[in-house]
């Protein structure tokens, strides 16, 4: 389980609240993996959340960085684009896959690494810009 910590706070309440939701959904995904639940409504809700999250949260973050004249704006936008490409490929491969457990475990690991690294290396620039 990945745990929200104060060190992840950007100083932008809405961004931080959305990050906390993301942590919760990552943990829900981990529960699905542990319960061997790889198909059905629960997993679809979680995977659809990530799609919705990317669209809304990335837009929010980018607009905050733009508004605050944050020097990490372009780097953030690029990182978001790369993650979206990864996620799209994951979704295309997941639905017909016979190895759903393996794909979900990989996706879960990527999510944790990406989120922590992204917040600490890029999103923290919001804190410096405000």
Say which CATH number the domain at 51 has: 1.20.120.50
Does residue 2 lie in a domain region?
Answer: no
Q: What is the pLDDT of residue 74?
A: 96
Q: What is the pLDDT of residue 38?
A: 87
CB-CB contact of 42 with 92 (8 Å):
no
**How many structural domains comprise the chain?**
1
Q: What is the DSSP string of 105-125?
A: HHHHHHHHHHHHHHIIIIIHH
Using one digit for the tens of pLDDT, what is the confidence trace for 35-69?
A: 998 888 999 999 999 999 988 999 999 999 999 99
Does residue 35 lie in a domain region?
Answer: yes
Does residue 68 lie in a domain region?
Answer: yes
Does residue 49 lie in a domain region?
Answer: yes
What is the radius of gyration, based on Cα positions, of the chain?
A: 15
Q: What is the pLDDT of residue 128?
A: 75
32-38: Cβ within 8 A, 24+ apart: 32/104, 33/101, 33/104, 33/105, 33/108, 36/101, 38/100, 38/101, 38/104
Domain extent, residue 55, equals: 12-129
Does residue 109 lie in a domain region?
Answer: yes
The parts of the chain modelled with pLDDT lower than 70 are: 130
User: What does pLDDT average to over the chain?
Assistant: 93
């Amino acid at each position: 389980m990945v745990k929200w910590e104060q060190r992840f706070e950007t100083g932008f309440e809405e961004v931080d609240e959305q990050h906390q939701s993301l942590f919760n959904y990552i943990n829900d995904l981990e529960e699905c993996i542990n319960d061997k639940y790889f198909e059905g409504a629960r997993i679809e809700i979680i995977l659809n959340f990530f799609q919705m999250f990317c669209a809304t949260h990335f837009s929010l973050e980018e607009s905050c960085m733009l508004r605050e004249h944050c020097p990490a704006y372009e780097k953030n936008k690029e990182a978001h684009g790369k993650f979206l490409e990864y996620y799209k490929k994951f979704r295309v491969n997941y639905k017909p896959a016979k190895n759903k457990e393996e794909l979900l475990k990989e996706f879960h690991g990527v999510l944790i690494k990406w989120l922590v690294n992204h917040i600490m290396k890029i999103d923290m620039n919001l804190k410096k810009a405000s």
